[in-house]
A = this chain, B = another copy of it.
Amino acid sequence: MARMGIKQIAALAGVSIATVSRTLRNPEIVSEQTRNKVQKAIDESGYKPNKLGASLRTHRSGNVVAIIPDVTDPFNSGIICAIEQQAQKLGYSVLLGDTQNDKERAKQYAEMAEYGQADGIILFSHELPFNLDPNKNVLEQLPPLINASEATEHQELPKVLVDNYSGACQATQHLIDLGHKRIAIITGPLQTNSTQERLRGYKDTLFSAGIAYDEQLVCEGDYHLESGMNETEKLLLLKDRPTAIFCFCDDMAIGASKVLKENGYNIPADVSLVGFNDIRYATYMTPALTTVRQPVAELGRIAMLQLHQLLNKAPADNETVLPVELIVRQSTGPNKTN
C-alpha cells in the first residue's frame, strides 16, 4: 500500500485538497456530488488521513497521558481501564505513564503535555511533577490537568476523589460495632491526601466511640504488600496487641493476613482484618477480606470526562467526591478477647 496523502486523493477525485479535508471533517458543507466523488477516491485508495498533520495544524494531539505510580497494582489498573474506556468514547488516546514511583519519570511524562504529545494529564499522585514559580498563579503554569484518586496540595486543581474519610469511618465503626477497642491501622504514606483523610476518619470514629487514640497502633505503610507484612510483625510485638487491623489498602491487608497466619493467629477469631479498595482478589482470600470498595470505574470515567471539559475550555468541577462502601466479608468478627 503506497502511502497516500490528501494530495493524492484530491488528484484522484479531481478536486482540491481543501475539498477532501472538508468531506472528511465537515461533509455537510460540500455538495453531495463532490462528496461522492471524494468518498469514492477514499474508499478505493484506502486513504487514512495522517493524524500528525491534522494535530499539528489544530494544536491537538488527541492524546492524554495518565501518570500513575504502578499499573501492576490492580487498583490502579482498574482506574486506567476505565479512563481508557471513556477516552475512546470521547475520541482520545491514552498514553501510559507508569512512573514506578520515580519522580523523574513522572516529570518526563508530565512534560509530554508541554511538548505537544499530549493535550492533558490525569495525575495519580500527591506530588505535582512540575517546577512551579511560587509567585505566579498555579493553574496558569500547568497544562490541563486532573487529579485522580489522590490530590496535591494545590487546592485550585480539579480533582476527582473518593470519600476516604467516610470509608475509614465505616471501617472503623464496623470494628467498633464488633466490640474491638484496640484497632490498629496500617496507613499509606503520610504525605498522601488519601491517608490523611482516612486517618482523620479513623481518629474521629474512635473519638466518637470514646476509645482513646493510641499512637502505638498506627503504623505507616506505603501501600505495598510487603509493608503490610512488616508493620504487622511490629504490631504483634506489642504488649497489648491489637484485636483488629485496618489496612489502608487490600495489598497490605493481604500481607498482614499472611503474617498473622504464619504466627498462628486466626482471622477473624484472634484478629479481625479490614482492607481498602476491594480489589478483584479480596473475595478469594481466606478468609474473604472485609474491605472498603472504591468505585474504580466511576473514578476513571469521571476523571476523563473532567479532563475533556478542561480541554474544551469549559471549567472542570474543582472537586468530585465519590462514595465508598464497606463490604463485609469473613475477615472481621466479634472481639473475643474481652
Contact = CB atoms under 8 A, between A and B. Distances in A.
B84 A77 contact: no
A258 B280 CA distance: 13
Contacts of A49: 115
Contacts of A52: 52, 55-56, 61, 116-117
B72 A96 contact: no
Interface in A117-160: 117, 141
Copies in the complex: 2
A282 to B, nearest CB: 10
Contact of A258 (B66, B98, B255, B284): B284
Contacts of A80: 71, 96, 98
Interface residues of A, number: 50
Contacts of A84: 71, 96, 98
Nearest to A117: B51
A205 to B, nearest CB: 28
A85 interface: yes
A81 interface: yes
B116 A51 contact: yes
A77 B284 CA distance: 20
Given A63-B95, A93-B95, 20 more contacts: A48-B114, A49-B115, A51-B112, A51-B115, A52-B52, A52-B55, A53-B116, A62-B117, A71-B71, A71-B80, A71-B81, A74-B74, A84-B96, A85-B100, A88-B108, A95-B96, A96-B96, A254-B284, A257-B284, A284-B285
